Structure 1
Amino acid sequence: MEADDFTLVHEDDHLLVLDKPAGLLCVPGRGEDKQDCLSARVQRRWPDALVVHRLDMATSGLVLMARGAEMQRRLSEAFAGRQVWKRYEAIVDGIADSRHWQTIDAPLMADWPRRPLQKIDPEGKPSLTRWRTLETWPQQDASHLLLEPHTGRSHQLRVHLASIGHTILGDALYGDARVQARAARLLLHATVLQLRHPATGQAMRFERPAPFGREDVRGCP
């Protein structure tokens, strides 16, 4: 179901699951030109909807919102306790050919002189990402990856992949001009959310396929 340029994936009395398009903020930013966002659009229809977590503006995919303060508290605790399982897909620069799960264990912190950028630093917060390859496309020097963040740091997937030499195509923050030019958008999508319902305890799993593929990779480097 389409509503206000987002897709409603699930609705009940306690929570909403939405598929956010790339290029839309999750919450309002600074300035009058950054007030349009997913939460504002959703609250026009569901006034009790409250933010629980966020995706970067450039990232598309599944976002969970609580209905009411009590559900927001319960869901926030589930995220903090790592009881919400998330999976992403990305198309990255270069050939990352690993069919077995690999781990990136690199602490992250704000790169204060270049905010909002993040950086890997031994003094940063522990940050862990698992990844494996779905497909490689040698003629395009690109790879389609499956990603599982075990922590939820800002820009975690983007920084971690850039750190191993496989920057996400279209990344305007962590990619050079060549990488940015290889896609019309950041090729990163939140594909899976899995959790227990905050009111009933029922196991729930939501999936949305990535809205991009090999055809969205622009030429060879």
Structure 2
Amino acid sequence: MQPQADPFIVPECHDEIEILYRDEALILLNKPSGLLSLSGKHPENKDSVHFRLVQRFPTCTMIHRLDFGTSGIMLVAMNKQINAQLCCQFSERTVSKRYTALLHGHLEQDNGVIDQAIAKDKDNFPLMKICQQTGKPAISKFRVLERFTQTPEASFYREDKRAGERSVTRVEFEPVSGRTHQLRVHSQQIKHPILGCDLYASDQAYFMATRLMLHASELSFDHPLSGERMNIVSPSPF
């Protein structure tokens, strides 16, 4: 029996990919929210970061992904040899990543560490869950940047009665590990889900934003050819 194609058809993304840096070895880009990192199984889900890039750079290969709703920095190798070198840095955790997120409610702590193992939720694909027994270790550091009350003038505001209380905390996340949906699951675990998250947020938090309020804002790694430490920043759009 042939596997069925994913029935979910993603909305068309009209935003362009912004190239932040490019040389003979790699590309650093800014992915818009609402664009797949890789093309989906369904033929109508062809549009993606990879699909667009290979039109211009046929030998480029993906090293990591960002969720469909997440915007921000992605690192792409120009060939398989560079890909292997960069993947080693990710696996050895010498790559530093920082994200900006808007969380529902006001966090009491100004900073902290979330240390909760994450496993696949086999009963609720594609969700992940906290499970100390079967999950893989997952650690996320966070630092509060701002606490505020959302107003109707905010560009990400969704006018919906289900949004309820509109207190918001802007945080900087630094994931030590790189598990699937890690920041989204960890935010839910501390009872301050990411605004606009369709998988892990309450109705209140989901209906407060028109998109997932998570942005990959900083990436640091060693250039595979020169060895120079690269630090790329993409300011959060929210």
The normalised TM-score by structure 1 is 0.92
- Mapped to 1, the partners of 2:172 and 2:65 lie a distance apart of 19
Unaligned runs of 5+ in 1: 213-221
- Mapped to 1, the partners of 2:176 and 2:206 lie a distance apart of 27
Alignment match, 1:156: 182
Alignment match, 1:200: 226
Equivalent of 1:120 in 107, 111, 130:
130
For this pair of structures, how many residues does the alignment match? 209
Amino acid of the structure 2 residue aligned with 1:136 = R
Deviations 1:26-76 (A, max 9, x none): 011121121110011011111111000000001000000001110000001
- Residues 1-221 of structure 1: pairs in structure 2 closer than 5 A: 5-99=16-110, 101-122=111-132, 123-138=134-149, 140-212=166-238
Alignment match, 1:218: none
Unaligned runs of 5+ in 2: 1-13, 151-165
- Mapped to 1, the partners of 2:102 and 2:207 lie a distance apart of 13
Aligned-pair Cα RMSD in Å? 1.3
Q: Is the 8 A contact 2:193 2:202 kept in 1?
A: no
Alignment match, 1:217: none
Amino acid of the structure 1 residue aligned with 2:90 = F
- Mapped to 2, the partners of 1:181 and 1:33 lie a distance apart of 27
The alpha-carbon deviation at position 138 of structure 1 amounts to: 4.7
Displaced runs of 4+ in structure 1, greater than 4 A?
none
Amino acid of the structure 2 residue aligned with 1:171 = C
Query: In structure 1, the residue corresponding to 2:123 is in which secondary structure?
Result: helix
The normalised TM-score by structure 2 is 0.85
- Mapped to 1, the partners of 2:149 and 2:73 lie a distance apart of 30
Percent identical among aligned pairs is 37
More helix per residue: 1
